[in-house]
Structure 1
């Protein structure tokens, strides 16, 4: 029997539903990232060392991107055994996860659909995943 997965994701967390033998199991993955705050001002600041803030901001952005990559890797580990993938979530995070999956050969051809979705509870993600794969709704374990 095929193993199906449904993923709801944003930059803060992911809810992964694995449907094996028709029974759902869920995993919550926290990203542990915070979008870096932008410094105020511009290139013509009064302080003599203000240009160093730009370097620090670039460093924060790189750290944020690396943290997101580690987050997508963690999601990839959970869905690695799935034969089919259904992605839902906020636009940017869902697209970034889709790009991450396209970069890794082991996920080639597994994504059945990717669609935008507002915030969902774990139960809603389970229900939507079961609906997508035309399986009866069962309690998650």
Structure 2
């Protein structure tokens, strides 16, 4: 995508809006990352304790980080050809993506990083149009 684009991102999904001469192109990239493992219904009376069934905290964190990196790589694969990238979102995902872009030598294309709350797709598109119109 040889365009200016913006993306709203959190750990669950990324909404990418590209602005080209031909108009707008929208893409939603869903993350399959789970922050916490699903809890089973076991009790001490019915079977093994939960602590025996769960991975250690550091193992869970490594798995979570690995899943996030796969998600960020999918986002980067989609936005790789953009000339200018505006990144915004509510949490840490925007900064984590920025670091990942810098590792891939794409950090120079970032034109801004902003903290915003949840937004609808039309609000996201309007924010990106407004940013690149200035």
Give TM-score, length-normalised by structure 2. Answer: 0.82
Gaps of 5+ in 2: 40-48
Give the drift of 1:59: 1.9
Give TM-score, length-normalised by structure 1. Answer: 0.78
1:3 aligned residue: 3
- Contact 2:76/2:101 (8 A) holds in 1: yes
2:125 aligned residue: 126
1:57-72 matches, within 5 Å, as 57-72=57-72
Q: Distance in 2 between matches of 1:80 and 1:108?
A: 11
1:106-117 matches, within 5 Å, as 107-117=106-116
Residue aligned with 2:111, SS:
strand
2:84 aligned residue: 84
Residue aligned with 1:91, SS:
coil
Which consecutive aligned stretches of 4+ in structure 1 deviate over 4 angstroms post-superposition? 49-55
The RMSD of aligned alpha carbons is 2.3
Q: Distance in 2 between matches of 1:55 and 1:35?
A: 13
1:18 aligned residue: 18
